[in-house]
A and B are shown apart, each in its own frame.
Chain A
Amino acid sequence: MRRFLGFIAAVGLLSAACGGTASPASTGSPGTSAAATSGAAAGKPAGKEIVVASSMALTGGFADVGKEYDKTYRHYFDELNKNGGLLGRPVKLVLNDDESDPKKAASLYEKYITSDKADLLIGPYPTPILAAVIPITEREKMVLVQAGTASASLLQGHNNKYTFLGFTFLDRDYAKPWMDWIKTLPADQQPKTMAIFTLNNPFTIGVQKGLADLAKQANINVAVNEVYDANASDFTALVQKAKTANADAVALLSYYPDSVQIVKTMAEQKLKPKTWYNAISSTVPTWSSDLKDLGDGTVTPVQVWHTQKTAGVQQLYDWSKTEFKTDFIPFHVGSAQTVAEVLTAGVKGCGKIDQDCIAEWLRQNPVPTVSGQLKYDSEGIPQYSAILVQTQKGKDLAIYPPEVADGKAVYPA
């Protein structure tokens, strides 16, 4: 017994001393412009709280992005409460750490639904988590607006009625902006050989399938198409293969920690393709500080850019600049904002907290968001829209499509 208490005490002391990575109790930064996207009367919300519940990867392998969602959700609902709340009532966001563990996320959502009786749910991140959570929310008939997975294998073909996607492209379209941009290059300069490194995960495999198709259509030879398991730690062999094949286009379909490792390995092995793409890593704010100049030249898709003329994009840009110390809106901040906007639009459109009504409303009506006007199909998937962004000297610039570009592409990277 004493040993047990000793352990507890020791752990408590250590946690107190070294902690600080616990979920922030942030209330968002003050002072964004008064006009909120909701346009509701700026009165104080009154009445019974509306509880919006979520789990998020605040620690663990997905935490780099999970923290962006956490901050953005909190910011959104703080702003909402400052501007009259939802249906005139204050909103309380309940967000707990699922430690990047699908089982923990599943049990948290079950608890929210069956035990805590939350009014509304909002989506976690990323695909493995959603794979465990979507069956639960669909079974319980609770609306889940999420930008955690864009995996067609999870979102299509299962008769989902309550799941709504906050991303504006599915996994198979993730690489489309890259390939579309490549087509704008002069024909003799386009890359001829591609190497694709894919994590063994439903989302990244979906991206890979789409990319392989697009590459074939563009007559690019996919010479190396390798999948690696989550436990792989040494990417030298992969990079070697790409070098042997003289790949001048490389795609990193991986989450942040792996992407960083692969980039370092590419530098060590001197693999320098003309263009290299990463699905979801380079707009994480620590990309350039972790990799320094090794991270330059890469391209990645986003759905929200400050050069767009969508509703609320300027406020989001101002806020995220101070919050994340970047000069762009990180990809997942944009998608998190979109998710929150879609959820509140559905509630407002319906006029009450009724899951079926909300779902039906979202399917029938276009939703104005920071990603544009979203029109949902019967499976809760919006129309395609994507922007290609490149990291140049530590800064991120949109390079495609031309109407939102704020920088010139650097090619070869």
Chain B
Amino acid sequence: MTNVFQTLLSGLLSGGVYALPAVGLSLIWGVMKIVNIAHGVLALLGSYLALTLFRALGIDPLLAAVLMLPVFFLIGLIVQHTLVRPVINQPEISSLMILFAFTIVLENVITRVWTGDFRAMTPAYSGMSLDFAGANLSVVRTITFGLAVVAVFGLDALLARTYIGKAIRATAQNQTAAMLAGIDTDRVALIAFGIGTALAGVAGVALGLIYSFHPSVHILWVVKSFLVTVLGGVGNIRGAFAAGLLLGVAESFLGTYVSFRWVDFFIYGLLLLVLLVRPQGLLRGAASA
């Protein structure tokens, strides 16, 4: 049935874009063992910056996404160094609190600069679709899916092939052992945060291309990214990608065949369920993953 196929395809496309913010979150979480609740608002900053570049200078959002990488890498370094590092020896909750503080500050800044109006980026190719084996593929979503694939597999390659990637993986697996092996885990944490944030910036551009956004959506974005991360396994990049696709498809089928208005309930309910049922590092007393 073409409709099932269409639903599947649409789900895959949006799922790929869920994976994009999730992999950055997963990376940071895996290496530093902290949940970066600011990940969503950082992505949103990327959306707004891309919007401004588009409106004011006519820069295509895809080009903006590339420009975001170094900018957000830098932002990530700054945030890690000034906010997260000072509380690294405090209980876990402190880093969450300070990132939460940063989140509400940044959201307010965004609102002041860009107002609370709902925004959307509409490059020339929005509203267009391609025909693919009888199904309609939105051009914008295909492009963002491609962006997600490139980013995710780029990160994967970085982790597998480069020295810094190996250092990151080592630190994520066992920080003490990594230190003993001579790895400067402080620097690794800093760089991982930078990379994660860079990906958040790109994610923001992608999300901003398909959805309309306003200053408070970041909470929804970070909650969904959190779900994808946990489903895929914290620190597992490919897992996050697969989980993202799964989530997209689940949403698509739920919305089309079950009930559209209850989709969000199922999604947040799934998050809660996953938090409660899934072990590994989330429960008190359990060894951290």
Chain A residues with CB under 8 Å of chain B are: 7, 10-11, 14-15, 18, 21, 59-61, 63-64, 99-100, 200, 226-229, 231-234, 236-238, 240-241, 243-244, 256-258, 260-261, 264-265, 267-270, 290-291, 294
A238:B260 contact, CB within 8 angstroms: yes
Residue of A21, A233, A238, A256 ringed by the most chain B CB atoms within 10 A: A233
B136 near A269 (CB under 8 angstroms)?
yes
Tell me the minimal C-beta distance from A24 to chain B in angstroms: 13
- B211 CB-CB contact with A under 8 Å: yes
Q: Is the CB of A267 within 8 A of B112?
A: no
Whether the pair B126, A14 counts as a contact (CB closer than 8 A) is no
Nearest CB of chain A from residue B192's CB, rounded to whole Å: 25
Q: Which residues of A contact B212 (CB under 8 A)?
A: 233, 257-258, 260-261
Instruction: Tell me whether chain A's interface is mostly helix, strand or loop, or mixed.
Output: helix
Chain B residues whose CB sits within 8 angstroms of the CB of A15 once the complex forms? 112-113
Taking A268-B141, A269-B129 as given, write out 5 further A-B residue pairs in contact, using a Cβ cutoff of 8 Å, ordered by the A residue number: A233-B217, A234-B255, A260-B120, A267-B128, A269-B136
Contact partner of B129 (CB less than 8 A), chosen from A14, A200, A270, is: A270
Partner of A244, one of B3, B14, B118, B251: B3
Q: What chain B residues lie within 8 Å of A291 (beta carbons)?
A: 127
25 residue pairs A–B, Cβ–Cβ below 8 Å: A7-B105, A14-B112, A15-B113, A59-B116, A59-B117, A60-B117, A61-B117, A61-B118, A63-B117, A228-B260, A229-B264, A231-B217, A232-B263, A233-B211, A233-B212, A234-B251, A240-B3, A243-B3, A257-B212, A261-B120, A264-B126, A268-B128, A268-B141, A269-B129, A270-B136
Known A-B contacts A267-B129, A268-B128; the reply to A240 vs B10 at CB < 8 A is: yes
B214, A60: Cβ atoms closer than 8 Å: yes
Q: B109 near A267 (CB under 8 angstroms)?
A: no
Partner of B118, one of A257, A265, A270: A257
B residues less than 8 Å from A99 (CB atoms): 116
Q: Using known A-B contacts A261-B212, A264-B126, determine if residue A240 contacts B116 with beta carbons closer than 8 Å.
A: no
List chain A residues, Cβ under 8 A from B252: 236-237
The answer to whether the Cβ of B261 comes within 8 Å of any Cβ in the partner chain is yes
Query: Is B185 at the interface (CB under 8 A from chain A)?
Result: no
Residues of chain A with a CB closer than 8 A to B54's CB: none
The 5 A-B residue pairs whose C-beta atoms are closest, nearest first, are A237-B255, A257-B118, A60-B116, A59-B115, A233-B211
- On whether A228 and B261 interact (CB within 8 A), knowing A7-B105, A21-B115, A267-B127, the answer reads yes
Within 8 A of A (CB), among B98-143: 105, 109, 112-118, 120, 122, 126-129, 136, 138-141
In the complex, A256→B90 CA distance in Å? 47
B 71-113 contacts with A by CB, 8 A:
105, 109, 112-113
Q: Mark B225-268, 1 if CB is under 8 A from A, else 0.
A: 00000000000000000000000000110111000110110000
A229 to B220, CA, bound (A): 13
**Of B6, B105, B138, the contact of A240 (CB 8 Å cutoff):** B6
Tell me, rounded to whole Å, the shortest Cβ–Cβ distance linking A193 to chain B: 16
A99 to B214, alpha carbons, bound, how many Å? 12
Check: B144 CB closer than 8 A to any chain A CB.
no
Known: A59-B117, A61-B214. A200 touches B256 (CB 8 A): no
Please report the C-alpha to C-alpha distance between residue A269 and residue B212 in the assembled complex, in whole angstroms.
Answer: 18
Question: Which of A14, A63, A240, A269 is B115 in contact with, Cβ under 8 Å?
Answer: A63
How far apart are the CA atoms of A204 and B143 in the complex, in Å? 34
Encoded as 1 (CB less than 8 Å from any A CB) or 0, chain B from 147 to 165 comes to 0000000000000000000
With both beta carbons as reference points, the residue of chain B lying nearest to A292 in the complex is identified as B127
Q: How many angstroms between the C-alpha atoms of A234 and B261 in the bound complex?
A: 12
Minimum CB–CB distance from A278 to chain B (whole Å) comes to: 16
Residue among A64, A237, A261 making CB contact with B7, cutoff 8 Å: A237
Q: Once bound together, how far apart are the Cα atoms of A257 and B214, in whole Å?
A: 10
- Indicate if the CB atoms of A264 and B264 lie closer than 8 Å: no
Nearest chain A CB to B218 CB, angstrom units: 12
Question: Could you tell me the distance in whole angstroms from the C-beta of B135 to the nearest C-beta in chain A?
Answer: 9
What is the CB-to-nearest-CB distance from A382 to chain B, in angstroms, rounded to a whole number?
Answer: 31
Contacts of B113 in A (CB 8 A): 11, 14-15, 18
Q: In the complex where A11-B109, A236-B252, A238-B255 touch, is A231 in contact with B264 (Cβ < 8 A)? A: yes
Inter-chain contacts of B52 with A (CB < 8 A)? 18
Select from chain B the residue with minimum beta-carbon distance to A3.
B82
A236 lies within 8 A of B260 (CB): no
Given A60-B117, A227-B261, A233-B212, the answer on whether A290 and B6 have CB atoms closer than 8 Å is no
A14: chain B residues within 8 A (beta carbon): 109, 112-113
- Write the nearest CB–CB distance from A202 to chain B, whole angstroms: 15
Residues in chain A near residue B263, CB distance under 8 A: 232, 237
Cα distance, A15 to B204, chains bound together (Å): 22
Residue of B14, B116, B122, B210 with most chain A CB atoms under a 10 A cut-off: B116
Bound form: Cα–Cα A265–B263 in Å:
18
Query: Which residue on A lies nearest to B215, using beta carbons?
Result: A60
CA distance A200 to B217 in the complex (A): 17
A239 to chain B, nearest CB (A): 9
Whole-angstrom distance between the Cβ of B269 and the nearest chain A Cβ? 14
Tell whether, in the assembled complex, residue B260 and residue A237 are in contact, meaning their CB atoms are under 8 Å apart.
Answer: yes
Least distance between B191 CB and chain A CB atoms (Å): 25
Contact A234 B14 (CB under 8 A): yes
Contact partner of B136 (CB less than 8 A), chosen from A233, A244, A268, is A268
Query: Which one of A61, A200, A233, A240 contacts B261 once the chains associate, using CB atoms below 8 Å?
Result: A200
